[in-house]
Structures are given as structure tokens and as C-alpha cells.
């Protein structure tokens, strides 16, 4: 992945993070006593989540090779239907073969991406983006489901501030695409989003439509400073904002600080 024309920590760091996240998730799956354990708050078992990861990693590797693959239309409903159909066709639930596949396809992605430019365009389940952002998408996806598997198995998860930073090109691109039209209807406000010890960006809502831009706004309505891991887990729908605010994982101030607890609900994670 030639990163000369793509911002961020660089292709080597991203590729390493993808492989590490895949390997750590695979280790959880491989050593699970029972892959039929259900993930708390979800419909999937550990085995189903692992099978989904294997299939998603394979899809991303195909996209990185320049192949065209259709997988829903980017809406949460269509992606859920595509996931269900794929899991119905692919019935492997054994820990060892799933773990091997998760890693093999993640490595296939990084190998394919290494031979192309990071700004090469690709069409993905979440719409068009460049190849570098697709890598951030893959990392985000592995981290989210890896977290679910770790929670189900009562094992430590693999998300840290460094790999959260590498997900941001995808997270910020995806935010306008996953706005919950009903929750955000008519909403207008400017949010200054910052990660502790890291970067920040601006999210501006106008009449329910969101635009994400780099840097800090001149006159934000609400400034939100979040601990990085908490930020990603809330963005992925794995945690809620109220507990994070009460525990100091998120701080908010500004002209309209009461907007902070509402902010995550303006989006619908696919």
C-alpha cells in the first residue's frame, strides 16, 4: 500500500495493526472451549462472529486485489441481510479453521494492498472510498467483532489508543453515511470532537445532514473529549455515552454541552 498520497500513520503501521488484530482475535477463537457461546447483547455466537470475520476479511482482500464484490447497498438492513445469507452458506464453526481463515485473509489483504496506491478507489459495502481507508475499515471491523468475542469469552480485548487512531480515516468517512435520519431530523449543531492524547475533527449537522471536516471549529456548540478506546466502542455501538460521561471517560463543555449524550444516537452503526 503506497501511502505517499494518503494521510495518517502510514501503510506499514496500518498493515501491522490489521495483522495483529486478526492474530489476537484468532487466538481467542482457536483457544475457545466452546464457539457456541453467545455474545452478550447480540444474536451471534462466538463461532458465528468468527465466521463472519473470516468472510469479511476474504471480501476485503478481494477488493484490495481489484475484484468487484457486491455485499448489500451500505444500509444497515441490507448489510444484515447479506451477513445472514453469507453465514447460512458458510457453516464452519470450528475454532481452529476459523482462526486460520481470519488470519490468512487479513494477511492476503495487506499483501494485495501493498502492491497498490493508497489513494486507488474501491467500492465497498459502505460505499466508495480509497484503498487506504478500506484498510482502516478492515481494522475497525476486526476490532469491533474481536471485542465482542473477547467479551463473550471473558478475555482481554485488543483495542488500544494506537489502533483507534488508525481507524479514524474510516470512522470519519463513514459517519455521514450512517446518520440515523429519524434521530437527526432537523438537527443543527457544530461538534468539536477530540481524542485524548490524539487528534480531533469537526462534525457539523445542518438540518439533519452531517459533514465531517478536519481540524477544530471556530465556534463549536459542544466540545467532546473522549478517551480513545471509549470513543471507538461508542462509535461501534458497543457502549453507551451516559456511563462514559459519569465515569469521566468523556468530558463535554461549550454553549450547548447537553448535546453530548445525544450525539452517538444521531448515528446508526451498521
CATH number for the domain harbouring residue 135 = 1.20.120
The verdict on 148 and 91 lying in the same domain is yes
Residue 270 has pLDDT above 80, yes or no: no
The verdict on 32 and 148 lying in the same domain is yes
Sign of CA dihedral 103, 108, 113, 115: positive
pLDDT of residue 1: 52
The verdict on 42 and 94 lying in the same domain is yes
pLDDT of residue 178: 94
The verdict on 37 and 167 lying in the same domain is yes
Tens of pLDDT, residue by residue over 210-250, are 999 999 999 999 999 999 999 999 999 999 999 999 999 99
C-alpha cell at 253: 463543555
- CA–CA separation, 80 vs 252, rounded Å? 33
- Read off the pTM: 0.94
Relative orientation angle of helices 131-153 and 228-235, to the nearest 10 degrees: 90
The verdict on 211 and 148 lying in the same domain is no
Residue 261 has pLDDT above 60, yes or no: yes
Q: CB of 204 within 8 A of CB of 265?
A: no
Centroid of chain to Cα 198: 18
- CA–CA separation, 32 vs 64, rounded Å? 30
Long-range contacts of 121-124 (CB under 8 A, 24+ apart): 122/63, 122/64, 123/63, 123/68, 124/60, 124/63
The verdict on 208 and 162 lying in the same domain is no
Identify the CATH number of the domain in which residue 229 sits.
3.30.1050.10
- CA–CA separation, 83 vs 63, rounded Å? 17
Residue 141 has pLDDT above 90, yes or no: yes
Task: Please state the rounded mean pLDDT for residues 103-107.
Answer: 98
The verdict on 161 and 221 lying in the same domain is no
Look at residues 175, 210, 236 and tell me which one is the last residue of a structural domain: 175
The verdict on 235 and 102 lying in the same domain is no
- CA–CA separation, 163 vs 160, rounded Å? 6
First to last CA, the chain: 26
* pLDDT grade for 131, boundaries at 50, 70 and 90: very high
The residue range of the domain holding 132 is 3-175
**Overall number of domains in the chain:** 2
Task: Please state the rounded mean pLDDT for residues 141-147.
Answer: 98
Q: CB of 245 within 8 A of CB of 54?
A: no
For 24, 109, 207, the CA distances from 262, given in Å and listed in that order, are 33, 36, 16
Amino acid at each position: 500500500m503506497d501511502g505517499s498520497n494518503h494521510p495518517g500513520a502510514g501503510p506499514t503501521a496500518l498493515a501491522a495493526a490489521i495483522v495483529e488484530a486478526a492474530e489476537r482475535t484468532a487466538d481467542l477463537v482457536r483457544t475457545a472451549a466452546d464457539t457456541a457461546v453467545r455474545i452478550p447483547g447480540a444474536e451471534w455466537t462466538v463461532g458465528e462472529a468468527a465466521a463472519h470475520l473470516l468472510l469479511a476479511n476474504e471480501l476485503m482482500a478481494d477488493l484490495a486485489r481489484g475484484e468487484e464484490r457486491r455485499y448489500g447497498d451500505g444500509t444497515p438492513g441490507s448489510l444484515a441481510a447479506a451477513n445472514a445469507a453469507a453465514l447460512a452458506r458458510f457453516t464452519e464453526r470450528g475454532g481452529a479453521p476459523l482462526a486460520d481463515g481470519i488470519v490468512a485473509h487479513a494477511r492476503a489483504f495487506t499483501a494485495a494492498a501493498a502492491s497498490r496506491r493508497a489513494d486507488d478507489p474501491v467500492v465497498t459495502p459502505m460505499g466508495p472510498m480509497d484503498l487506504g481507508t478500506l484498510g482502516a475499515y478492515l481494522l475497525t471491523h476486526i476490532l469491533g467483532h474481536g471485542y465482542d468475542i473477547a467479551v463473550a469469552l471473558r478475555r482481554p480485548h485488543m483495542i488500544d489508543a494506537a489502533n483507534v487512531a488508525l481507524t479514524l480515516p474510516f470512522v470519519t468517512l463513514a459517519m455521514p453515511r450512517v446518520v440515523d435520519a429519524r434521530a437527526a431530523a432537523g438537527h443543527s449543531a457544530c461538534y468539536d470532537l477530540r481524542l485524548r492524547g490524539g487528534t480531533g475533527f469537526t462534525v457539523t449537522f445542518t438540518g439533519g445532514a452531517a459533514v465531517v471536516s478536519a481540524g477544530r471549529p471556530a465556534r463549536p456548540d459542544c466540545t467532546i473529549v473522549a478517551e480513545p478506546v471509549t470513543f471507538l466502542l461508542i462509535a461501534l455501538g458497543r457502549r453507551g455515552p451516559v456511563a462514559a460521561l459519569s465515569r469521566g471517560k468523556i468530558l463535554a463543555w461549550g454553549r450547548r454541552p447537553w448535546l453530548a449524550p445525544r450525539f452517538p444516537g444521531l448515528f446508526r452503526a451498521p
